Amino acid sequence: MKVTVKSYTPLNVIKDAIRTCWDSGEKSDDLGPKDLELIERVGLKYKHSSTLEHCVFNFYIEGISRLCLQELARHRIASYSVKSTRYTLKELKNESYFLQEYDLETQHCKPQISELYERASKYIVFNGNNKIDMASIVALDNLITLLNSGFSIDDIKYALPECYKTNVFFSINARSLRNFFELRNSKSAHFEIRNLAKEIYNQLPEEFKFLFKDLF
| Cα-Cα-Cα-Cα dihedral sign, residues 108, 113, 62, 144 | negative
> What's the confidence (pLDDT) of residue 86?
86
Q: Which residues are catalytic?
A: 184
| Separation between Cα atoms, residue 75 and residue 68, nearest integer Å | 12
Percentage with pLDDT > 70 across the chain: 94
pLDDT digits (tens, 9 = 90+) for 46-103: 888 999 999 999 999 999 999 999 999 999 999 999 999 888 898 899 898 998 655 5
Phi, psi of 172 (to 5 degrees): -155, 145
Give this prediction's pTM. Answer: 0.91
Reported as half-sphere exposure (CB side, CA atoms, 13 A), residue 90 has a value of: 5
Percentage with pLDDT > 90 across the chain: 81
> What's the confidence (pLDDT) of residue 105?
63
> What's the confidence (pLDDT) of residue 108?
63
Least confident of 91-100, 163-172, 205-214: 91-100
The separation between CA 70 and the C-alpha centre of its own chain, rounded to angstroms, equals 10
| CATH T-level topology, domain 2-82+165-215 | Gyrase A; domain 2 (3.30.1360)
Q: Strand 2-8 relative to strand 78-82: parallel, antiparallel, unpaired?
A: unpaired
Residue 110, burial from CB neighbour count under 10 angstroms (0-12, 13-18, 19+): exposed
For CATH 3.30.1360.170, list the domain ranges present in the chain.
2-82+165-215
Residues 126/114, Cβ–Cβ less than 8 Å: no
Q: Mean of the per-residue pLDDT values for the chain?
A: 93
Q: Which residues are CB-neighbours of 167 under 8 A, at least 6 positions away? A: 60, 61, 62, 63, 64, 82, 83
Which residues are 60's β-sheet partners?
4, 169
Residue 141, burial from CB neighbour count under 10 angstroms (0-12, 13-18, 19+): middle
pLDDT digits (tens, 9 = 90+) for 95-129: 989 986 555 566 666 667 788 899 999 999 999 99
Cα–Cα distances in angstroms (integers) from residue 69 to residues 13, 93, 119, 189, 203, in the given order: 30, 23, 22, 14, 19
Grouping H, G, I as helix, E, B as strand and the rest as coil, residue 168 is strand
> What's the confidence (pLDDT) of residue 104?
57
Indicate if the pLDDT at residue 38 is higher than 60.
Answer: yes
